[in-house]
Structure 1
Amino acid sequence: MILVMKKGATQEMVQRMVQRVESMGLKAHVIVGTELTVIAAIGDDRNVKKESFESCEEVERLVPILAPYKVASRETKPDATVVKVRDLVVGGGHIGVIAGPCSVESEEQIILAAKKVKEAGAKALRGGAYKPRTSPYAFQGMKEEGLKLLAAARDVTGLAVVTEVMTPHHVETVVKYADVLQVGARNMQNYHLLQAVGETRTPVLLKRGLSSTMEEFLLAAEYILDQGNQQVMLCERGIRTFETHTRFTLPLASVPYLKQKTHLPVVIDPSHGTGIASLVPPMCRAAVACGADGLIVEVHPDPKEAISDASQTISPEVFAEALVECRRVAHALGFTMD
């Protein structure tokens, strides 16, 4: 349930209600909105006497949370969450752009890529140091050395670093270098990993699982939020269907649907969503048109030489042109991309 505090409630009043919630065996999540502060009381409240809250002078009203995902729900927080890290702003009418190669391959490659995507208008650099690959014989990434190269590229360009973390025991290492922790599609339901990134206060980009429902996706986000990390971005990266003309099927209806159900910002990955480089620019435009809060795009200085995901990777020149077109769409709809 949600405890809606009276307008003008002081910090002392809020803390007093938090203590009361926790004394009843529930977990209290304080969410400060533009006008009101609410406390989401999470847990089994079947034996909790609602009157004990309704009679408190600090509480304006109680509202039941109907969605199974409590903290992620719009019922809990009507205002959109905006994730900010360095110059990257995602949500609240701002479209954040993340771009870079699938894998960190060398210092020259990642720094050149960072310079090129920044020049085009990206605010964050993506690059895999730890790579989850279907085949155990495929390139697995440069690991911590790759993280160091990402940090070096950040030092040169100022771009925020977005990189994947694969296991709970990698979190401590990755968080030393990354500005945003990416949880990949294959790990969307790795609950120990979700809890581990939730215990940090580093923003998280959570990718939808290959065959996961919207409810499963939002409940995965709930694991992170439940640990106290409120800086979560949802990433639609395409799902597995019967169709074979693209690598995955990119359902852009996810964007408006998620924005109705959750306050969390929604990012689109047109690179994995299509698997075909020529389809990436038009799907970027379509993502902006349907209200996406961000884009994450695979860009390599020389796509044909990319060690991984070459078929879906675009060049810096194509990326720059795509962003010009996206800005036109964003401007027409009243969104900001710069």
Structure 2
Amino acid sequence: MLHAIPNAAEKRTELRARLSGNEILCMPGAFNPLSAKLIEEKGFGGVYVSGAVLSADLGLPDIGLTSITEVAQRGGQIARMTALPTLIDADTGFGEPMNVARTVQLLEDAGLVGMHIEDQVNPKRCGHLDGKDVVDEMTAVRRIKAAVHARRDPNFLITARTDMRGVADLPSAIARAQALVDAGADALFPEAMRTLDEFAAVRAAVDVPILANMTEFGKSELFSVQQLDDVGVNIVIFPVSLLRLAMGAAERGLDTLLAEGSLKSRTTDMQTRKRLYKLVDYQSYSMFDDQVYTFDLGSNLD
């Protein structure tokens, strides 16, 4: 009720322990707090908060227009509602090294278990778009060092994302990955890998957990969780999948409303009121103080 029971420090400790084991963590992207609750209920290993989703939620393209204040606020709202560890996209850190340091501390305060920060130039763009560019190695390393230095909880996960593969060959991407790990990154996010062999090559080159991004309509083939597990990936994210599913359903529903003047034919596609009430845990709120919350669930579960 109101928020999940485990606190942020407990979630971070849990994430570290799970990453030290042999399991692969599957983290679908939540587009709001309610979807994070659904991800938890279905039994996934964690929740991911995508910068592309946060931008789209504001009606903006994913080109670095959101602020750290917006990201921290929304990330905190999502993290608060689930007992699962919630990892967030911090773009390029929202500025230079001092901005990166502030970003880390704001995201710690918001209750996230960790963040990833990329080596793109400012303003950044979606990792699966053409025309992006990366900063020089010294600048990328300084961002990671600033993030590691700024965190107050040593279990807050600093993941380095490199977009080098999108602008150069695999050996260049591996060299950049090794430099970021040497700078202190706890985990590595090699963006836009083409094949399983490329993931395997990165796995062989670094000794920290690896994150794979399985975003639809991108440059990477949509490998299964098992395939990624087989080549040593530790975390797999599905950043925009739930938003795409939800918006696709919403668009089809609006088309039906225009065509038929009613959504009667679509009710079987909808989450029922009973299901929604269960997901938001109406019952706990009803029992909290029956002198204040006097609604009758029995007559409202159609």
TM-score, normalised with respect to structure 1 = 0.49
Give the corresponding residue for 2:109: 176
Distance in 2, matches of 1:154 and 1:143, equals 16
Name the counterpart of 1:219.
179
Larger proportion of helix:
2
Deviations 1:70-97 (A, max 9, x none): xxxxxxxxxxxxxx82543224312122
Q: Match for residue 218 of structure 2? A: 275
The change in CA–CA distance for 1:214 and 1:117 in structure 2 (over 3 A counts) is same
CA distance 1:236–1:252, shift in 2 (3 Å): farther
Match of 1:120 among 27, 42, 46: 42
Q: How far has the Cα of 1:257 moved from its partner?
A: 2.8
Residue 186 in structure 1 maps to residue 120 in structure 2: yes
Q: Give the letter aligned to residue 138 of structure 1.
A: P
Q: Is the 8 A contact 1:129 1:143 kept in 2?
A: no
| Distance of 1:254 and 1:119 partners within structure 2 | 33
| Alignment gaps of 5+ in structure 1 | 1-83, 102-108, 226-231, 239-248, 308-338
The CA deviation at 1:182 is 0.6
Q: Which secondary structure does the structure 1 equivalent of 2:196 belong to?
A: coil
Distance 2:46 2:143 in 1: 23
Q: Which amino acid aligns with 2:24?
A: I
Pairwise CA distance, 1:287 = 1.0
1:172-251 correspondence runs (5 A): 172-177=105-110, 178-184=112-118, 186=120, 189=137, 190-199=140-149, 200=151, 201=154, 202-209=156-163, 210=166, 211=168, 212-224=172-184, 232-238=186-192, 249-251=193-195
| Cα pair 2:177 2:190 within 8 Å, conserved | no
Q: 1:300 to 1:269 in 2, by over 3 A?
A: closer
CA distance in 2, matches of 1:306, 1:222: 41
Q: 2:26 aligns with which of 87, 97, 101?
A: 97
Matched position secondary structure for 2:181: helix
| Aligned ranges 1:1-338 → 2 under 5 Å | 85-88=12-15, 89-101=18-30, 109-128=31-50, 138=61, 140-141=65-66, 143-165=68-90, 166=93, 167=95, 168=97, 169=99, 170-177=103-110, 178-184=112-118, 186=120, 189=137, 190-199=140-149, 200=151, 201=154, 202-209=156-163, 210=166, 211=168, 212-224=172-184, 232-238=186-192, 249-271=193-215, 275=218, 280=222, 282-303=223-244
TM-score normalised over the length of structure 2: 0.54
SS at match of 2:207: coil
Distance in structure 2 (CA, Å) of the matches to 1:215 and 1:301: 34
Check conservation: 2:29, 2:50, Cα contact below 8 A.
no
> For the Cα contact (< 8 Å) 2:210–2:234, is it kept in 1?
yes
One-letter code aligned to 1:218: Q
Structure 2 CA distance for aligned equivalents of residues 306 and 185 of structure 1: 30
- Alpha-carbon distance in 2 for matches of 1:194, 1:100: 24
1:174 is paired with a residue of what secondary structure? helix
Displacement after TM superposition at 1:219 (Å): 0.7
Indicate the structure with greater strand content. 1
2:144–2:180: 8 Å Cα contact kept in structure 1?
A: yes
Query: Unaligned stretches of 5+ in structure 2?
Result: 1-10, 122-133, 249-302
2: CA distance between counterparts of 1:95 and 1:181?
18
Against the structure 1 CA distance between its residues 259 and 142, is the aligned structure 2 distance closer, same or farther, given a 3 Å change threshold?
closer
Q: 1:153 to 1:220 in 2, by over 3 A?
A: same
2:187 touches 2:211 (CA, 8 Å); kept in 1? yes
| 8 A contact 2:174–2:205 mirrored in 1 | no
User: How far off is 1:300 after superposition?
Assistant: 4.7
Contact 1:113–1:300 (8 Å) recurs in 2: no
Shift of 1:196: 0.9
Secondary structure class of the residue paired with 1:186: coil
- RMSD between superposed Cα atoms in Å: 3.3
1:276 Cα shift? 7.7
Amino acid at match of 1:141: T
Q: 1:151 to 1:132 in 2, by over 3 A?
A: closer
Q: State the 1:180 CA deviation.
A: 0.6
Provide the aligned length of Structure 1 versus Structure 2: 195
Matched residues in 2 for 1:132 and 1:222: separation? 31
SS of equivalent to 2:27 = strand
